[in-house]
Structure 1
Amino acid sequence: MKKLLAAAAVALVGAAAAWTATAVLSDSGTGTAAPTRAPAPATADITRQDLVDTETVDGTLTYADERTVTTEARGTVTWVPEEGALVKRGRSLMRVDREPVTLMYGKLPLYRTLERGVEGPDVTQLERNLKALGYGDDLTVDDEFTYATYLAVLEWQEDRGLPETGRVDAAQVVFQTGAVRIGEVKTAVGRKTMPGQEAFKVTGTKRLVHVDLDTDDQELARKGAKVTVELPGGERAKGRITAVGTVAETSGSQENQTTTVDVDITLSKKPKTRLDQAPVDVELESERVKGVLTVPVEALLATSAGGFGVEVVEGGSNKIVPVELGAFGSGRVEVKGSGLAEGMKVGVPAA
């Protein structure tokens, strides 16, 4: 990482060549200025501050929790929602033979027919949804499908235009953990559908950023770490790493294989972009140092000895002081050198 940033510093030094030649240290190595050296065209302060070293990786703005939805309905598809549509509790995911397949909230799939006499947590799910939708004034939410549940189901079926059987099965209802966003429609109006057939790919409603992180950079991804994301249009947003995969995945040809781990980032605020998916740049923190002396990267000079120095400007005199480089971050670099102190001035290229 530091090698890459040091290379960037060298490039900046090259850009600064218009105002300074390669720095020449005195034979004593004390940093005395060469007698023919011209004064720096501009100066900047040496500051004491925290530095954060970052690396930028590619990511994708997307939605959380993608999964596939199937239905037990059998017949001809007569309506499907548009991709990107938001479907909430009690609304239709699709229509088969003009009858709705309704979304309800719950963790358990509807794996059996729910009717009078049945007991279990799936009954509790159904009753909780019926109550939330305004059915069953006398209904008690518990794990028993009672006569009160039966009456609530009849009322719901009448309103939905379903056969009034008092029974609920997976051809009528799909349970999901919450509202869903239609990501990809896997069927179409006019097509035949049958039990177990994929109908949609759906996601949650929460935006996130996904990164396929090269395993060589895996140490950059720590759960809970803060990151900065550059979104489409130049918008920048703060985020936090909420999930780091534990299984590496290999893709590409044998000649050009890459091995990555999944990293998910939750943004601190809803992005302005309306794009469902978009490429983004993610700044991951690789190193943080506190309370170090720093100078702008463009203040660095290449020395004849092969290292770096800075031009310290004091009053009407200037001298080259050799420095050791530390962390980089936000256009500044940590420096260590004899006699350097906070508040000193160093030469930089003219603006």
Structure 2
Amino acid sequence: MSGMFTDRDEDRDGAAPAAGAEVEPTQEGTAPPRAPGRRRSRTVLVAAAFVVVTAVAAVGALGLGGDGGEGPAAPPRAGSTVAVTRATLVERTKVDGTLGYGAEIPLPAKASGTVTWLPEAGTVAERGDTLLRVDDRPVVLLYGTLPMYRELGTTAGTAAPDTTGNPTPPAPGGAGGKGGTDGGTDGGTDGGTDTASGGTTGTGGGTGTGGGTGTGGGGNTDAPPRSTPPQPLRGMDVLQFESNLAALGYTGFTVDERFTSGTERAVKRWQKSLGLPETGRVGLGDVVYASGRIRLGQPSVRLGAAAGENVLGYTGTTRKVVVDASAQEASWAVRGAGVAVGLPDGTAVRGQVASVGRQVTAPEGDGGTSGAAPTVPVTVTITDQRSLGRLESGPVSVEYVGRKRENVLAVPVAALVALAEGGHGLETEDGRFVTARTGLFADGMVEVSGPALRAGLKVRIPQ
């Protein structure tokens, strides 16, 4: 029995069993046990092989140095390839904007009295339309840039100037009388005698009696005053008004700077059509001038309130976009520059910078503590108003062109790989890596340059 245990112990230690020793038969269906030492050595060999393979792969991927811009070749990897191309890259930037009709302007109505009728907000008014009524008199829209600053009409007649030299008639029975004195002086050369009531005697022609009535060239008699006919009013405001009157179909006068009787007759016909007294004169508050068609805003007063220049506001009828652009990055906002306006439904329409504000505004309620940049208002007009559909107001985006690079080498941004030593590179079709300096990024492409890069070179997009 002891020998059998010894033989098993020696066999367990890896030694061959002694001759003639009895060997315990192996049970059916059971694998023979493996030596522990052999299992450990086999595990070590597998781990060492994995480290070697990993190190080789790392060297192939990261050994990109080289002053010539190329590194050692690595085993080719699966993935799509693209060619380096020459292209023009354009940097586009989007900013937020607001679609609308612009800021409202107070209507310069000069009528005084009580407001008796107001239009509905959003009403579009043209030349000749009634904007509001004050004391039940219409205030009419006309086109022009010169504001109404005086009443228009023919001027009143004036008295003829007094050329007699006697602005004041002589007092009857005065001491000597004015006429007696004049008679004695003026007629003296004719040798007459002037005797004035009151005891004054003079030499010369004529005899003055009573209050100075001279005969023989002595006294003067005042002539009755003469009047002149009404004179036409002149001015550029007359020309502006007559142009509107003619455009409304009232003629019979010459459109010029003179408000003549012909203009007056045309005004009376116009007043009759408006239900106004036919005076032929245009009052200061009867009309309001604007540069063209206007869109009326929300009234600021109720019916029955006193009229004034802040009764009603208005805007133009053209929809536009206002952008509060960063004052530090507003170099794109040049009058006439083209932009793309993105609408809420995802469509884009063409726009053009119309004006750039000159007043810089700090963010509302900021106080300079948040670090937000000041802004300037940029107005963008849209020529094709029909492209906006029925949209009248709301948030939109404005896309403008920033930097632009023409005829440069470019690849998709996805083709760039980060290099171990820093910077970026590209993997060629045969597995080599070349350095690439990046420039402008735009539309998913990137500008690249380097000594090993050329148009047509095939590079791999990493998976």
Same fold (TM over 0.5): yes
Q: Which amino acid aligns with 2:322?
A: H
Partner of 2:448: 335
Partner of 1:169: 283
Structure 1 residue ranges without an equivalent (≥5): 1-20
Partner of 2:146: 108
Q: Deviations over 1:9-41 (max 9, x none)?
A: xxxxxxxxxxxx99634343643466356222x
1:119 aligns with 2:119: no
Q: Which amino acid aligns with 1:134?
A: G
Give the secondary structure class of the aligned counterpart of 1:338. coil
Alignment of 1:42-121 (within 5 A): 42-64=80-102, 66-116=104-154, 117-121=232-236
1:150 aligns with 2:189: no
Number of aligned residues? 323
Q: Which amino acid aligns with 1:233?
A: D
Partner of 1:288: 404
Contact 2:74 2:432 in 1 (8 A): no
Q: Tell me the CA shift for residue 92 of structure 1.
A: 1.4
Structure 2 residue ranges without an equivalent (≥5): 1-57, 155-231
Give the secondary structure class of the aligned counterpart of 1:56. strand
What is the rounded CA distance, in whole Å, between the counterparts of 2:391 and 2:408 in structure 1?
41
With the length of structure 1 as denominator, give the TM-score of the two structures.
Answer: 0.83
Q: Which amino acid aligns with 1:31?
A: E
Match 1:277 to one of 360, 382, 393: 393
1:236 aligns with 2:348: yes
Q: Tell me the CA shift for residue 96 of structure 1.
A: 2.7
> Which of these two proteins has the greater Rg computed from alpha carbons?
2
Alignment of 1:318-329 (within 5 A): 318-329=431-442
Contact 2:415 2:460 in 1 (8 A): yes
What is the rounded CA distance, in whole Å, between the counterparts of 1:167 and 1:58 in structure 2?
51
Q: Tell me the CA shift for residue 147 of structure 1.
A: 0.9
Partner of 1:6: none
Partner of 1:224: 336
1:311 aligns with 2:427: yes
Match 1:187 to one of 297, 301, 304: 301
Over aligned residues, Cα RMSD in angstroms? 2.5
Partner of 2:52: none
Contact 1:23 1:302 in 2 (8 A): no
Q: Deviations over 1:296-329 (max 9, x none)?
A: 222222222332223333xxx2333221111122
What is the rounded CA distance, in whole Å, between the counterparts of 2:249 and 2:437 in structure 1?
71
Q: Greater shift after overlay, 208-217 or 127-136?
A: 208-217
Q: Which has the higher contact order (CA 8 A, sep 6+)?
A: 1
Q: Which amino acid aligns with 2:344?
A: P
Measured at CA, do residues 130 and 288 of structure 1 come closer, stay the same or move farther in structure 2, by a change above 3 Å?
same
Give the secondary structure class of the aligned counterpart of 1:192. coil
Measured at CA, do residues 344 and 267 of structure 1 come closer, stay the same or move farther in structure 2, by a change above 3 Å?
farther
Higher strand share: 1
